[in-house]
Structure 1
Amino acid sequence: MGKDVNISLAGIMGFPVTPYDRNEQLDEKAFQANVRFLVENGLDSVFVCAGSGEYQSLDINEYEQLVSVGVATAAGKVPVFAGAGGNIREAIARVQLAEQLGADGFLLLPPYLIIPEQEGLFNYYRTLAQSTSLPVIIYQRDNAIFTLSTLEKLISLPNVIGFKDGLGNFELNIEFVQSIGARLQWMNGMPLAELTMPAYSALGYLSYSSAISNYIPQVSRTFYTSLLAGDQATVKSIYQEVILPIHRIRQLRKGYAVSLIKAGMNIVGLPVGLEVRTPLVPVDKEHYARLETIIKRSLELVAIANNG
Structure 2
Amino acid sequence: MSARKLSEIRGVLPALVTPFDENEDFDAGRMRKVVDFLVERGVDGLYVTGSTGEAFMMSPDERKEVLEVVIDQVAGRVPVIAHVGAISTHHSIELARHAERTGADALSSVPPFYWGFSQDQILAYYTDITAATGLPMCAYNVPLAGLFGFDMIKRLAEIPGVEGIKYTASTHHDIMRIKAEIGPDFILYSGADEMAMSGLAFGADGLIGSFYNAIPEIFLAIYAAMQAGDLERAKALQETGNAVIFFALSRNPMAAIKRMMAWQGADAGFCRRPMTNFTPETEAALKADFRAFAAERGLKGLRLLETMNG
TM-score by length of 2: 0.85
Contact 1:110 1:144 in 2 (8 A): yes
Alignment CA distance shift 1:293-1:110 (3 Å): farther
What per-residue deviation string (whole Å, max 9, x for no partner) do you get for residues 174-225 of structure 1? 43222112131111011xx2x2122212221021113333233222222322
* Paired position in structure 1 for 2:259: 263
* Paired position in structure 2 for 1:214: 213
* Paired position in structure 1 for 2:116: 115
Alignment CA distance shift 1:83-1:301 (3 Å): closer
How far apart are 1:124 and its partner, in Å?
1.9
Q: What pairs with 1:143-158 in structure 2 (closer than 5 Å)?
A: 143-158=145-160
Gaps spanning 5+ residues in structure 2: where? Answer: 304-310
Contact 2:218 2:241 in 1 (8 A): no
Contact 2:45 2:78 in 1 (8 A): yes
With 100-109 and 277-286 compared, the bigger mean Cα shift is at 277-286
TM-score by length of 1: 0.85
Q: Percent identity?
A: 24
SS of the residue corresponding to residue 181 of structure 1 reads coil
Alignment CA distance shift 1:189-1:6 (3 Å): closer
With 49-58 and 280-289 compared, the bigger mean Cα shift is at 280-289
* Paired position in structure 2 for 1:132: 133
Contact 1:264 1:292 in 2 (8 A): no
How far apart are 1:4 and its partner, in Å?
8.6
Alignment CA distance shift 1:292-1:214 (3 Å): farther
Alignment CA distance shift 1:301-1:281 (3 Å): closer
What per-residue deviation string (whole Å, max 9, x for no partner) do you get for residues 241-297 of structure 1? x323222223325x62x2221021012121222x21122223554444334566797
Q: What pairs with 1:219-298 in structure 2 (closer than 5 Å)?
A: 219-240=218-239, 242-252=240-250, 256=253, 258-273=254-269, 275-283=270-278, 285=283, 286-291=285-290
RMSD: 2.6
With 227-236 and 120-129 compared, the bigger mean Cα shift is at 227-236
Q: What pairs with 1:1-308 in structure 2 (closer than 5 Å)?
A: 5=5, 7-88=7-88, 89-142=90-143, 143-190=145-192, 193=193, 195-240=194-239, 242-252=240-250, 256=253, 258-273=254-269, 275-283=270-278, 285=283, 286-291=285-290, 300=301
Contact 1:3 1:161 in 2 (8 A): no
Aligned length: 295
- Following the alignment from structure 1 to structure 2, what is the Cα–Cα distance between the partners of residues 204 and 171? 10
- Following the alignment from structure 1 to structure 2, what is the Cα–Cα distance between the partners of residues 221 and 161? 24
- Following the alignment from structure 1 to structure 2, what is the Cα–Cα distance between the partners of residues 167 and 236? 19
- Following the alignment from structure 1 to structure 2, what is the Cα–Cα distance between the partners of residues 139 and 153? 14
Contact 2:137 2:162 in 1 (8 A): yes
Contact 1:16 1:31 in 2 (8 A): no
- Following the alignment from structure 2 to structure 1, what is the Cα–Cα distance between the partners of residues 4 and 41? 28
Letter in 2 for 1:159: G
SS of the residue corresponding to residue 242 of structure 2 reads helix
Letter in 2 for 1:122: L
- Following the alignment from structure 2 to structure 1, what is the Cα–Cα distance between the partners of residues 50 and 6? 23
Contact 1:2 1:158 in 2 (8 A): no
